[in-house]
């Protein structure tokens, strides 16, 4: 990046900026090349300042939360990678009829919101027990499990956009799909507002315990991974399809299809992004050839990738 731009970023964020930062330090996969610039922001004003600086310089901006559900290229990410800091992780509660509203900062851990809701005997987030990542990341993936998903409980979304500054969108303006959310162009999400309902605490805890047991019995523990690799096709389960074509335990370099759940790829030995991507391609080809089902990635591929020949 140009020296003047580096100085300007330093003026905005001080020592919370560094350059050529390895993103393997910041992803759950423990994979990823360097970011041209790594900048930690703590409030909407700082985001806006960086957005406008990047816009004027023609530089892309990518936002990272806890670093789950992404595969960062070995070549890294050009431009500015914004890390949402602790200042964007607060959770605020207010009563609403027979339930309550929660305003959760985009950097708040999903787990924290789920536990606080259960402690207040508020229902609607039990499905998310054990889902890793941040509130912002969960929104972008419309995270869900066991019959529930983010779109069921989101009331509105707040964010920052370089042209309009701080803006918000009501639920009626938001477009969710299966494991997708159409983020308004140029918007960086700063907070999500949830509407939850009152319920008996023992029933909420029972549903959370059930979700936790199901998750722990099926998903790999102890090895770096990015969560589910592929979306479930209509009427099918990606993991069962991958297992059915004999790819459970398959390996490319340091990446392996999990023995516990075939829709997970785990980093068993200093895997590179190219190892994971090669394994994903093999899975897609095998499932298509054997089952005539086209698997679609659930994780996002981030950064510079070689074009297919």
Residues classed as catalytic: 179, 228, 298
| Distance of alpha carbon 251 from alpha carbon 248, whole angstroms | 9
Tell me phi and psi for residue 95, to 5 degrees.
-75, 150
**151, HSE (Cβ side, Cα atoms, 13 Å):** 15
Q: What does the alpha-carbon distance between residue 274 and residue 80 come to, in Å, rounded to a whole number? A: 22
Tokens 């800091």 label which residue? 85
- Beta-carbon count within 10 A of 292 CB: 7
145 CB contacts (<8 Å, ≥6 apart)? 127, 128, 131, 211, 215
Length of the chain: 309
Residue whose pair of structure tokens reads 């508020």 in the numeric block:
122
Q: Compute CA distances 118 → 45, 67, 209, 274, whole Å.
A: 32, 25, 11, 40
Under 8 Å between Cβ of 37 and 19: yes
Contacts of 51 by beta carbon, 8 Å cutoff, 6+ apart: 61, 160, 161, 162, 186, 188
Any bridge partners for residue 99, and if so which?
A: 96, 197
């Amino acid at each position: 990046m140009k020296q003047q731009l580096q100085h300007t970023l330093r003026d905005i964020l001080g020592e919370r900026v560094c350059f050529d930062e390895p993103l393997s330090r910041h992803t759950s996969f423990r994979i990823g090349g360097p970011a041209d610039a790594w900048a930690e922001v703590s409030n909407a004003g700082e985001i806006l300042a960086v957005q406008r600086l990047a816009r004027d310089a023609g530089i892309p901006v990518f936002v990272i939360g806890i670093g789950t559900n992404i595969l960062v290229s070995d070549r890294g990410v050009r431009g500015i990678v914004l890390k949402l800091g602790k200042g964007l992780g607060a959770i605020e509660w207010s009563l609403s009829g027979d339930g309550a509203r929660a305003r959760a900062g985009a950097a708040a851990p999903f787990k924290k919101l789920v536990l606080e809701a259960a402690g207040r005997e508020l229902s609607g987030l039990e499905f998310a027990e054990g889902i890793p990542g941040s509130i912002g990341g969960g929104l972008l993936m419309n995270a869900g499990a066991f019959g529930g998903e983010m779109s069921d409980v989101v009331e509105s979304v707040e964010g920052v956009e370089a042209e309009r500054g701080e803006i918000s969108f009501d639920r009626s303006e938001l477009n969710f799909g299966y494991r997708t959310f159409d983020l308004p162009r140029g918007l960086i999400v700063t907070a999500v507002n949830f509407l939850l309902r009152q319920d008996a605490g023992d029933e909420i805890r029972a549903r959370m315990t059930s979700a936790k047991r199901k998750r722990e019995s099926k998903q790999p523990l102890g090895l770096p991974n990015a969560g589910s690799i592929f979306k479930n096709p209509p009427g099918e389960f990606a993991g069962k399809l991958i297992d059915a074509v004999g790819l459970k335990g398959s390996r490319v370099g340091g990446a392996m299809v999990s023995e516990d759940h075939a829709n997970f790829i785990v980093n068993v030995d200093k895997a590179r992004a190219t190892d994971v991507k090669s394994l994903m391609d093999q899975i897609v080809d095998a499932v298509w050839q054997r089952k005539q089902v086209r698997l679609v990635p659930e994780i996002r591929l981030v950064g510079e990738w070689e074009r297919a020949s």
